[in-house]
Amino acid sequence: MKNIVVIGAGTMGNGIAHTFAQCNFNVKLVDINQVSLDKGLATIAKNLDRMVAKEKITEAEKAQTLNNITGLTTIDEAIKNAHLVVEAATENVDLKLKIFKQLDGICNDDTILATNTSSISITEIAAVTNRPDKVIGMHFMNPVPIMKLVEVIRGYNTSNHVTNTIMQLSKTLGKVPVEVNDYPGFVANRILMPMLNEAIETLYNGVAGVEEIDTVMKLGMAHPMGPLQLADFIGLDVCLSILNVMYNGFKNPKYAPCPLLVNMVRAGKLGVKSGEGFYDYSESKKAEKVSAQFSK
């Protein structure tokens, strides 16, 4: 297994492409939007520069990693000779089903199709293909080049051979794969998202403010990042989407998203990606912080 295709050049997609390329796989990074593709490739280069500055890799290793990646805007061209396709598109079930149906029609019969979904049923995705035994979940954590965990999710029909192949491949990437079964939210988000939702409910009910809630969790529970800051980092729209998948999948009110989260997403306050969520990430706010530092 040498030729890897990654669908989607966003935060997760470019991180996955970076990780494979750094381990000397041939990677084609595909995004139908040229601007998004260029941004994804630029992010990879910037992250590699950061690694060089920290002396984690050499300039030669950076150059080789970038040389291992080809950016494309069409799937047909990218898919030729692919051994593995990793889909990392937006967390939208209709979009993923459309992509997998398209991939199944043009990929070689022995190509493994993986999805980076963080909550959507692998079995449902596999059902739109003629190769359900070769469809599997590879849920990487953000930021992909740094985080060690990969949730390997087998659908109802995923074969043992494919599961073992992806488990071993994850280890080749320097990751720690954990095999889980196909239930809404899998393990990571089934536990994480209710906690984030409860933190939002705590804010919504006026128990404490944003920084106070995060401080309690950081200092009291030794979390490296508070739940509200983490929700901003993940993307409030992504959090809402995952909670909706879990709520619809389990029909359990404990997974119902907080009204505050719903309204913030409707208002376009999505966290870091939009410049504002529970915290302000705008350029003006950054300028204020810099000014404050120099005035001390």
**Which residues face 29 on adjacent strands?**
6, 71
User: Which residues of the chain form beta strands (DSSP E)?
Assistant: 3-7, 26-30, 69-72, 84-87, 112-115, 135-140, 149-154, 176-181
Task: Please give the positions annotated as active site.
Answer: 118, 139, 151, 189
pLDDT for position 290? 37
Query: According to the model, what pLDDT value does residue 291 have?
Result: 39
Which pLDDT score, from 0 to 100, does residue 244 have?
96
In the chain, the domains with their CATH numbers are: 3-181 (3.40.50.720), 189-289 (1.10.1040.50)
Tally of CA atoms within 13 A in the half-sphere of 27 that contains its CB: 30
Q: Which residues are annotated as a binding site?
A: 8-13, 31, 91, 96, 118, 142, 273
pTM of the model: 0.89
- Map tokens 């190769």 to a residue: 131
- Are the CB atoms for 46 and 18 separated by under 8 Å? no
Q: Which residues are annotated as a binding site for NAD(+)?
A: 8-13, 31, 91, 96, 118, 142, 273
The pLDDT value recorded for residue 146 is 95
Query: CB 254: neighbour CB atoms within 10 A?
Result: 10
What pLDDT, on the 0 to 100 scale, is given for residue 294?
A: 35
Specify the pLDDT at position 286: 56
SS3 assignment for 24-44: CCEEEEECCCHHHHHHHHHHH
Q: What is the chain's pLDDT, residue by residue, as a tens digit (296 residues)?
A: 899 999 999 999 999 999 999 999 999 999 999 999 999 999 999 999 999 999 999 999 999 999 999 999 998 878 888 999 999 998 999 999 999 999 999 999 999 999 999 999 999 999 999 999 999 999 999 999 999 999 999 999 999 999 999 999 999 999 999 999 999 999 999 999 999 999 999 999 999 999 999 999 999 999 999 999 999 999 999 999 999 999 999 999 999 999 999 999 999 999 999 999 999 998 756 545 533 443 44
Beta-carbon contacts of 34 under 8 Å, excluding residues fewer than 6 positions away, are 73
